[in-house]
Amino acid sequence: AQTVTQSQPEMSVQEAETVTLSCTYDTSESNYYLFWYKQPPSRQMILVIRQEAYKQQNATENRFSVNFQKAAKSFSLKISDSQLGDTAMYFCAFMKYNQGGKLIFGQGTELSVKP
Amino acid sequence: NAGVTQTPKFQVLKTGQSMTLQCAQDMNHEYMSWYRQDPGMGLRLIHYSVGAGITDQGEVPNGYNVSRSTTEDFPLRLLSAAPSQTSVYFCASSYGTGGIEAFFGQGTRLTVV
């Protein structure tokens, strides 16, 4: 069975600074997908970034980038130039290659961006 | 497009009552899922469906039933509510495999007293 672990329940960062959220996972699969979802106080789940395991290049989306270390089974999220609107709960999630609809989530990291 | 619509947004039930959480999507997605979110535990998969007429259990299926008679709708039924089912429930849909983005509804906060 796959597991996803986020070991940082809470983090805070000053506006305009950089913060890194950690995620590790356990799987015996070689093909899979990893995601970071953002959940602001509105409760809406918003996809931030995704990574295909077969791609060595780390995914980036504007101020968001990941450090994907397949051998170490690590998938951290870096937020650059943090903004107040980044304040949210962040979830790391795993999906097996052929199992759409079955996301496995970590416990979440609550990020506070302070002015 | 409305995306994924969940109703109701809030609900209070008494122990032993039954209810159905509604989920509808208008994106013609094959895959639909139900998750529950509890503090410190992230989101956990309850049931999922890979198409009309096909459903399967997730990690925490006990106490919940689902059916999928159409592509658009995927209701979640609580047959006899228990306080342990107090949670926030999310419905999600996606188109196929291949790591396609899952779209989530806005959630239902359910309290069982």
- Does residue A55 sit at the B interface (CB-CB below 8 Å)? no
Q: Is residue A78 within 8 Å of residue A66, measured between CB atoms?
A: yes
Give kind and range of the element (H or E) at residue B93.
Answer: strand B87-94
**Closest A-chain CA to B37:** A107
- Characterize the bridge pairing of strands B108-112 and B10-13: parallel
* Per-residue pLDDT tens over the stretch A56-85: 899 999 999 999 999 999 999 999 999 999
DSSP secondary structure letter of residue B102: P
pLDDT for the residue B1: 62
pLDDT for the residue B97: 66
Min Cα distance B6 → chain A (Å) is: 12
* pLDDT over 70 at A21, yes or no: yes
Mean pLDDT of B24-29: 94
For chain B, which residues lie within 8 Å of any Cβ of chain A, measuring from their own Cβ? Answer: 30-33, 35, 40-45, 48-50, 58, 88, 90, 92, 94-102, 104, 106-107
- All residues of chain A having their beta carbon less than 8 Å from the beta carbon of residue B101 are 47, 50
Min Cα distance B14 → chain A (Å) is: 24
Q: A50 and B99 in contact by Cβ < 8 A?
A: yes
The whole-angstrom separation of Cα B42 and Cα A36 is 12
| Least confident span in A3-7, A43-47, B39-43, B70-74 | B39-43
pLDDT for the residue B98: 67
- All residues of chain B having their beta carbon less than 8 Å from the beta carbon of residue A6 are 42
pLDDT for the residue A100: 77
Q: A100 and B31 in contact by Cβ < 8 A?
A: yes
* CA-CA-CA-CA torsion sign (A111, B2, B6, B7): positive
pLDDT for the residue B101: 84
pLDDT for the residue B99: 65
The whole-angstrom separation of Cα A50 and Cα A111 is 19
Q: A50 and B88 in contact by Cβ < 8 A?
A: no
Q: What is the 3-state secondary structure (H, E, C) of B73-89?
A: ECCEEECCCCHHHCEEE
* Per-residue pLDDT tens over the stretch B58-100: 999 999 999 999 999 999 999 999 999 999 999 999 987 666 7
The residue among B23, B31, B37, B68 with the most chain A CBs within 10 A of its CB, best to mutate, is B37
Q: What is the mean pLDDT of chain A?
A: 95
Min Cα distance B113 → chain A (Å) is: 23
Min Cα distance B97 → chain A (Å) is: 4
Q: Is residue B74 within 8 Å of residue B51, measured between CB atoms?
A: no
Give the pLDDT band of residue A86 (cuts 50, 70, 90): very high
